[in-house]
Structure 1
Amino acid sequence: MTDTLSRLHPALREVLVSTLRWDEFRSVQEEALLAYGREMDLLILAPTAGGKTESAFLPALHDLLTARTPGIGILYLSPAKALINDQYLRITHITAPLGLEVSAWHGDVQRSDRIWHEDEPPHILLTTPESLELLLMDPKRRRAFLQLRSVIVDEVHTFAGSARGVQLRCLIERLDHLCTRRIQRIALSATVGNPEALLAWFSGHDRTGACIRAESPPSARRFSFLIEASEDERIRLLAGVVANKKTLLFTGSRSEAERVHAALSQYVASALVHHSAVSPDARRAAEEEMAGSGPACIVCTSTLELGIDIGALDLVVQYGPPDSVASFLQRLGRSGRRKRPPEMVFLLANGEEALLAAAAVRAAREK
């Protein structure tokens, strides 16, 4: 760690060694620190808990501390509010001793906490593309981005190929235009089969970029396929599968999550629900229950698909087939911590759904 550490700003180096007690970097973090200095856009690929967040923020923080420009220096964009809340806690462990202010800005944050004085914006802003668009429409808020140095986009694969991804790209281009220079772009993603194409989409025209991958050894994965035409019987099967376990149960929609949760609650006392229409307090209560020591089953949509830390899971259940290979991989990656192999149970209504689920598994295996 000595050579890489010696290149960092002294204050950041002190926090890592003395406060956080780091004694080494992961390979993906070392590569990111080296590549950032070459002024290239970066796509950092690593599994959940693979060190992606630090790989992006360490070089960006070094650059911010060195430059000491006013205004917002680092902008973090996330597809999910829950992920912002989780990353806020993680990032402030590093930034608080450095005297850098971090603010989260989205609909679940109290309005009083989303206000900064015109001449005192945070050094680091965590938000969604939708909230960023609102900020850029306000002339006073827009000025806070004039000295922006880095844009970090988390779970970038969830944006690619969608209307929301077009919005994201347009916003980043607007920031370049606002600052009259090219801002360093860093994208974080779970492992995908076409990283070069993803980087090209993220970077755009006339920019250079690099893919940085966290190498992980192949590991065993466990899959079970349960097929039952009757939904009542599927719920009874489900109750037996999740009993006395810590489980995330993914559904295809909010309405399906509510329906499954209502039915499962008749059999499982610790069943909770989590999706974008649930109140912030209820979502936080579900996340806290999952982080506790006892059994719990959260019926959710993609709101818990992303990298929010919900502790050690026993199992992931997919209710119906996944809607994409990327989604399947993201959900599978939520399990398999603490040296246990990832495990997913598919609960399916018929042979067609089983074929779609098996196809997702095979497509992921063949990248």
Structure 2
Amino acid sequence: MVAKKTPLYDEHVKLGGKIVDYAGWFLPVQYEGLIPEHEAVRNAAGLFDVSHMGEIVVKGKDALAYLQYLLTNDIASIETDQIIYTFMCYPDGGVVDDFLVYKYSEEEYLLVVNAANTDKDFKWMIDNKKDFNIIIENKSDQIGEVAIQGPKSEKILQKLTDTDLSSIKPFHFNRKVNISGIECMVSRTGYTGEDGFEVYSPAEGIVKIWNDILEAGKEDGIKPTGLGCRDTLRFEAGMPLYGNEISKDITPLEGGLKFFVKLDKEEDFIGKEALNKQWKEGLTRKVAGFELLERGIPREGYEVYKEGKKIGHVTTGYMSPTLKKSIGNALIDINEIELGNEVDVMIRNRPVKAKIISRKFLKK
């Protein structure tokens, strides 16, 4: 299958982006380089093309009841124009996907899902529609999306709109923000651990918005940013990646994300029974943070040992651009996750000493 192009593909090529096939999409992994792009987001601002993300609308009089049945978090706890992070699970507690739910009204919600999972998610939602009085629509091809992230994001984006962006609080959104003469939905969300906004527009308007944001942010040091630093930024901020810290084989509880699984909500949800059982019986493994005590760079899939016995594997690992240390996450035996515990990460068949640390790598 040939990879798809977002509406911004030609802009990435013009800017010298190094294009890769990611989740079935041609996207820039970097432009200038991972480190300068990462640092731009931490210190000024970066602009990401996230038009590949999936957008699925659920509407109808049973919309809330359906989402409560489908998802692990308590969707009834949010107000109109508010956003919540959640998981959609299989009956065995494994994760179908993790995503944000935007509440338009009591009877209409937007789910912004991972690009690689869009078709799978949509099918899962249709297959589990039951008798709920709802309509489920995949709007992904109609919507363009960019994310401006970093401490100068508000200052830069404010130049392009009359809407007071400071009025949009974290995990809230405004559906009627005029940016560059185009009506957009703007949310104060992102995947970097920095302040920032995600801008949704009709697909045909996103090129103008992209170019106008880069122009507006020139003096403030904005850079176009690729998938490479998106991963290092989210990882430093302690955010999970589907397929790494959570997956069909790794439950949200094992991923250390119980806060987003409301086992005490009245409604039964898909996977609740299995997750409840897992929690009550006690986890046997969990994702923990670690720091290498010797030279080396940990990579996804590397095995972790304790006293010669395999206890797990690395889910994400990097030389952190911000901390200048080799750190990672690993899914390991629950008895080995105590802070300060020393383990060995196998790097090129050589055991490299590491110690368990908090996954909150960034002190923000």
Q: Shorter-chain TM-score category?
A: under 0.3
If the length of structure 1 is used for normalisation, what is the TM-score?
0.27
Larger proportion of helix = 1
Larger proportion of strand = 2
If the length of structure 2 is used for normalisation, what is the TM-score?
0.27
